[in-house]
Amino acid sequence: SIASLPERFHGCLIGLAVADALGAPYEGLTSDDIFYRFGAGTHVVTNPDGDTLYYTDDTEMMIGLAETLVSEGHVDGEKLIAAFVANYHPDRGYGRGARQILETAATGGDWREVARTIFPGGSLGNGAAMRVAPVGLLFHDSPEQVWEQAKQSALPTHQHPVGIEGAQLLAHAVSLAVQLSEIQRKHFLTALLDRVETESFQWAIRSALKIKRGDSISGLGSTLHADRSVVTAIVCFVDSPDDYAFAVGRAISLGDDTDTVAAMAGCLVGAFAGIQAIPAKAVEQFERSRKGIAYIRELANRLVIRHTNRVGR
Ligand code: F2R
Ligand code: MG
Ligand code: MG
Ligand code: MG
């Protein structure tokens, strides 16, 4: 059965948070290490380690972006940084650049200058893409707004064209996933290829189009760099769009940036197949902190209302 729009908004945000938490224990490990020590990816998803699943920076920043969209109706860079700072817990495992920018902002320093100079050309980390899903949901009826608002949501921390376009690409993928009733692998990837402008992403999507469904995608990468993780996550989704355990498990099994590739694949499956596609056991084990599962569901509700008001229905 085809999921309703509210079910898809919930599926997207919960699918992101749960996958982030499922993948987090394995971040930085190699693919081999994960397999030999913990088993196949699907096993890791259906039999999560430990009692409670804790989310990381991926979800914490998604929450900050969703809060900003709910209160402002669009991305405001100052408000977004303020939300990131208010939610910031360094023990959630932030990237080196993100940490410096947020700590500078927290102490009243020139965080924009840090964002411009932190890495050559700015950050091309996948941090802007990992948090962008709420933009793809709220503006899904307008491809131009998705592209522009995703850019605005990236800029406070990610100034490099690859860091920015990674966010735009994932937001665009979310906006398609939340509307479609069927995913055609080649058609979906071609639609994304038509949209991207950087050579890095053109290369990655062309490579993905050459890989047959189910073949190894390890060559696409699963690193902290946006051009070596965003397309990988999208392929995990298009290869099994309504099988959360398989798509997220495959993302985790690649090793390296497991939480983030899983989070990006998980938000796409949730946006397409709805909240009912997320394994109940993992949702049950997800942390029940102040900004835990109930709060994320409330943000999804408020985004639905924002969207309804925005399109004037
Ligand atoms: N930070 C982590 N996990 C710890 C991983 C440690 C890793 N093994 C290591 O050695 O660093 N996870 C979280 O960070 C990722 C999102 O990162 P974000 O928000 O994009 O941060 P940052 O620091 O801007 O970028 C991440 C790294 O990418 C490299 N990088 C960025 N721009 C670069 C450039 N222009 N040139 C070269 N390298 C660049 C740097 O190493 C950055 O630190 C997610 O995985 C999240 O879960
Ligand atoms: Mg993380
Ligand atoms: Mg953002
Ligand atoms: Mg990560």
30 strand-pairing partners: 255
Q: Calculate Rg over the CA atoms of the chain.
A: 17
Spatial distance between the Cα atoms of 244 and 172, rounded to a whole number of angstroms: 20
Spatial distance between the Cα atoms of 249 and 216, rounded to a whole number of angstroms: 14
Which residue has tokens 């309504």?
Answer: 242
Q: Is residue 105 classed as helix, strand or coil in its secondary structure?
A: helix
How many residues are given for the chain?
A: 313
Which residue has tokens 């996948």?
Answer: 126
Contacts of 243 (CB under 8 A, 6+ apart): 269, 277
Which residue has tokens 């906006």?
Answer: 175
pLDDT at 1: 65
CA 243 to ligand 4 center in whole angstroms = 22
Ligand 1 atom closest to residue 120's alpha carbon, by position in its atom list: 35
Ligand 1 atom closest to residue 223's alpha carbon, by position in its atom list: 45
ipTM of predicted complex: 0.94
Kindly report, residue by residue over 228-275, the tens digit of the pLDDT: 999 999 999 999 999 999 999 999 999 999 999 999 999 999 999 999
Kindly report, residue by residue over 183-226, the tens digit of the pLDDT: 999 999 999 999 999 999 999 999 999 999 989 999 999 999 99
Which residue has tokens 């669009």?
Answer: 74
Spatial distance between the Cα atoms of 158 and 128, rounded to a whole number of angstroms: 7
Residue ID of nearest Cα to ligand 1 atom 25: 125
255 strand-pairing partners: 30
Q: Which of 20, 100, 22, 95 is closest to 63 using CA atoms?
A: 20
Q: Is residue 146 classed as helix, strand or coil in its secondary structure?
A: helix
Q: Which of 88, 131, 128 is closest to 263 using CA atoms?
A: 131
* pTM score of the predicted model: 0.98
Greatest pairwise CA separation for the chain in angstroms: 53
27 CB under 6 A from ligand 1? Answer: yes
Spatial distance between the Cα atoms of 220 and 224, rounded to a whole number of angstroms: 12
257 CB under 6 A from ligand 1? Answer: yes
Spatial distance between the Cα atoms of 217 and 61, rounded to a whole number of angstroms: 27
**Backbone φ, ψ for residue 203 (5° rounding):** -60, -50
The DSSP symbol for 110 reads: -
Residue ID of nearest Cα to ligand 1 atom 18: 127
Q: Which two tokens stand for residue 92?
A: 């959630």
CA 144 to ligand 4 center in whole angstroms = 28
Q: Which of 271, 72, 293 is closest to 171 using CA atoms?
A: 271
Which residue has tokens 């991305």?
Answer: 75
pLDDT at 313: 60
53 strand-pairing partners: 286
Give me the tens of pLDDT residue by residue for the chain, a chain 313 residues long: 699 999 999 999 999 999 999 999 999 999 999 999 999 999 999 998 778 999 999 999 999 999 999 999 999 999 999 999 999 999 999 999 999 999 999 999 999 999 999 999 999 999 999 999 999 999 999 999 999 999 999 999 999 999 999 999 999 999 999 999 999 999 999 999 999 999 999 999 999 999 999 899 999 999 999 999 999 999 999 999 999 999 999 999 999 999 999 999 999 999 999 999 999 999 999 999 999 999 999 999 999 999 999 888 6
Reported as half-sphere exposure (CB side, CA atoms, 13 A), residue 222 has a value of: 31
